[in-house]
Amino acid sequence: MAQEVIKIKGGQTLKGKVEISGAKNSSVAIIPATILAEEPVTLDGLPKISDVETLVSLLEDLNIKAELDDTTLHVDPTEIQNAALPNNKVESLRASYYMMGALLGRFKKCVIGLPGGCPLGPRPIDQHIKGFKALGAKIDESSATSMKIEADRLVGANIYLDIVSVGATINIMLAASRAEGQTIIENAAKEPEVVDVANFLNSMGARVTGAGTSSIKIVGVPHLHGSRHSIIPDRIEAGTYMCIAAASGEQVVIDNIIPKHVEPLTVKLKELGVNIDVGDDFMVVQRAHPYHSVDIKTLVYPGFATDLQQPITPLLFLAEGPSFVKETIYPERFKHVPELQKMNGAIDADLGTATIKPSHLTGAEVYASDLRAGACLIVAGLIAEGETTIYNVKHIYRGYTDIVNTLKKLGADIWTESVDA
């Protein structure tokens, strides 16, 4: 069977403008959230990625009319049927777990396959389940492949999350928005995507306050109406292009961003020595030489995003001394390390920390184990001398709109090829 690979000949200088798409991690929650409405909803500014296509197809499995027109999605949930959601599609992305909160809020019941997603080590959903149970749901986990969640009544509750979780915070908000009475989520995630989902729910008539702080209040309402909502820009896509520009950019303009959302990365890149000019909704990034070594520790927002520790790592080979990356959200998120070693990178990871020493990267055949590892290998391939071939690129297409053509337009020597698996 043939598979597509991405090939890069490193060492080109990039210049030009990149337009950032709508946020993947908002979109993948807001598309399921449309189920909560009883009237048509339009979403603008969706990224053109395979995760969006998979979720649209899951909506269709529920007999929802969903029409994706470029970056706009028209959803008509008036004929919705609460069907059991198939395992194969649900398994292909983590965010299918948002179907649980949305269907529970709408029907007080759902049957759904177990969520998959990037292999980043253990990714439990116990906090989601804790939240659903607190709202009155019973969970049947007797099947090895699917889960049944059911409530006679959904009643608001005070829920203290044991772990700050983006997914659990959003999933509980979805279900609670149509529960009876008031829910308070304490120790809630503060990520901009949580705020975007809350704004979308409120645009349909929900009563969510406090999103963006660690205490979110949701007063349930019996019905949600139609609305039109624009997705916020993707801070992780923006951050990835910032790393790309810092690796090989003469002058790269990154447009359609909210600079505040990428500030933890901006600050770190400036520490490294990268030239960055920040505008109202754009920035100009330019590589510099030499870079200084830096230490990075991933944290929940507004700390340094775990999703950007892999894309920034190749830049650390360009520093004058050793750098350290400590991963606190997913301590096993280091599958890019052996691939970078194949590219002559002096990198090791142990006990949740990677040590990166100055190296001259060379092209190699490498494997994208997950989405952000794939982005990391693209950054590395752009820096490396010679040709890099990246396998398993389906992960990259899950999260980056048309990345190969975008980089080509900036001047990268990058292309796809079909090879025998």
The answer to the question of residue 46 lying near ligand EPU (CB under 6 A) is no
CA–CA dist 200, 225 (Å, integer): 11
Exposure b/e, 206-242, CB count within 10 A at least 16 = b: bebebbbeeebbbbbbeebebbebbbbbbbbbbbbbb
CB 122: neighbour CB atoms within 10 A?
A: 7
The answer to the question of residue 404 lying near ligand EPU (CB under 6 A) is no
- Where do we find the tokens 């200084």? 292
The answer to the question of whether 356 is labelled as a binding residue is: no
Q: Which is nearer to ligand EPU, 162 or 277 (CB)?
A: 162
The answer to the question of whether 124 is labelled as a binding residue is: yes
End-to-end CA distance of the chain: 6
Which one from 110, 118, 243, 376 is the annotated catalytic residue? 118
- As measured in angstroms, the least distance from the Cβ of 363 to ligand EPU is 25
User: Which DSSP helix (H) or strand (E) runs through 237?
Assistant: helix 235-248
Segment 121 to 180, residues that bind ligand EPU, using CB under 6 A: 123-128, 163, 165-168
Within 13 Å of residue 370, how many CA atoms lie on the same side as its CB? 21
Q: Which is nearer to ligand EPU, 59 or 253 (CB)?
A: 59
- As measured in angstroms, the least distance from the Cβ of 223 to ligand EPU is 27
Segment 14 to 43, residues that bind ligand EPU, using CB under 6 A: 25, 28
Q: Which is nearer to ligand EPU, 253 or 300 (CB)?
A: 300
Torsion 350-123-54-421 (CA) sign: positive
> Does 243 qualify as catalytic in the annotation?
no
Structure tokens at 281: 């909704």
Segment 205 to 234, residues that bind ligand EPU, using CB under 6 A: none
Order of strands across the sheet that contains 387-391: 365-367, 387-391, 2-9, 413-420
The answer to the question of residue 329 lying near ligand EPU (CB under 6 A) is yes
CA–CA dist 343, 59 (Å, integer): 42
SS3 30: helix
The answer to the question of whether 244 is labelled as a binding residue is: no
Q: Which is nearer to ligand EPU, 194 or 318 (CB)?
A: 194
> Considering only residues 7, 94, 217, 268, which one is a binding residue for ligand EPU as defined by CB under 6 A?
94
- As measured in angstroms, the least distance from the Cβ of 121 to ligand EPU is 8
Binding residues for UDP-N-acetyl-alpha-D-glucosamine: 94, 123-127, 307, 329
Binding residues: 24-25, 94, 123-127, 307, 329
Catalytic residue annotation: 118
* Residue ranges binding ligand EPU (CB under 6 A): 25, 28, 94-95, 118, 123-128, 163, 165-168, 189, 236, 306-307, 329-330, 371-372, 399
